[in-house]
């Protein structure tokens, strides 16, 4: 940005955010310089002998070197910490940021359920691979509006999303089974979902639980396999 006439640029104008690192480095260096000078002066005074010019020049040199080394080290550490923070928090190099949908949560807390659902619907329409908003919208539809059909549709979409994790698939399947065996009164479709889970995850605790649920469902509704 062009500066007004007569404006004198500052350290922050020239170096931006890195100026803070430079300021800290200078502060560390000057602090060590001062401490070293004081220590050498005290040592010379306590020795009972007056220091020569060359001794003072040597003391200044040692102090300057220590101050410079400390300042440079502080600059490197500060920049390294800054880069690490950016790498983790901004670039998302370790754990990707996961949207919390706080706006929709605030709408629900204020009792604006329809507005929250409309917002979730807009999100899922624009994001075919988004898992969490589909799950949250499904729960909201089922719990607050008794729209179990739309809830089941959203959960079925979660099952088909390639990037959805195993936990997402298992959760969506369990909720579909709950809806089909409960308010939707379609036990046959609930059995289909349980078999799908067993086939996809053979030999796992989730599959064993699905087998038990399948047997219970068949006995309850007198359905054949």
- pLDDT (tens digit, 9 = 90+) per residue, 141-181? 999 999 999 999 999 999 999 999 999 999 999 999 999 99
Q: Distance (Å, rounded) from C-alpha 78 to C-alpha 97? A: 24
Of 209, 210, 196, the closest CA to residue 160 belongs to: 196
- Residues of the chain with pLDDT > 90, as a percent, come to 51
Query: DSSP per residue over 72-88, as a string?
Result: HHHHHHHHHHHHHHIII
Q: Distance (Å, rounded) from C-alpha 41 to C-alpha 37? A: 6
Q: Distance (Å, rounded) from C-alpha 117 to C-alpha 138? A: 9
Q: What is the mean pLDDT of the segment spanning 107-131?
A: 96
Q: Distance (Å, rounded) from C-alpha 3 to C-alpha 9? A: 8
pLDDT in tens, 49-58: 455 656 656 6
**Which residues, 6+ apart, have CB-to-CB distance to 60 below 8 Å?**
37
């Amino acid at each position: 940005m062009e500066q007004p006439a007569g404006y004198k640029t500052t350290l922050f104008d020239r170096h931006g955010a890195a100026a803070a690192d430079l300021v800290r480095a200078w502060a560390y260096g000057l602090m060590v310089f001062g401490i070293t000078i004081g220590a050498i002066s005290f040592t010379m005074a306590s020795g009972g002998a007056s220091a020569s010019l060359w001794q003072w020049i040597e003391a200044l040199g040692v102090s300057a070197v220590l101050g410079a080394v400390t300042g440079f080290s502080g600059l490197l550490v500060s920049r390294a910490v800054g880069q690490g923070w950016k790498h983790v928090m901004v670039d998302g190099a370790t754990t990707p940021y996961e949207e919390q949908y706080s706006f929709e949560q605030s709408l629900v807390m204020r009792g604006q359920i329809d507005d929250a659902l409309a917002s979730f619907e807009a999100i899922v329409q624009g994001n075919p691979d988004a898992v969490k908003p589909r799950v949250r919208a499904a729960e909201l539809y089922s719990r607050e509006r008794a729209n179990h059909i739309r809830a089941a549709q959203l959960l079925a979409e979660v099952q088909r999303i390639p990037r959805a994790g195993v936990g997402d698939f298992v959760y969506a399947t369990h909720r579909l089974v709950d809806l089909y065996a409960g308010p939707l009164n379609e036990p046959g479709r609930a059995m289909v979902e349980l078999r799908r889970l067993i086939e996809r995850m053979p030999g796992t605790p989730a599959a064993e639980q699905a087998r038990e649920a399948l047997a219970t469902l068949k006995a309850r509704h007198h359905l054949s396999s």
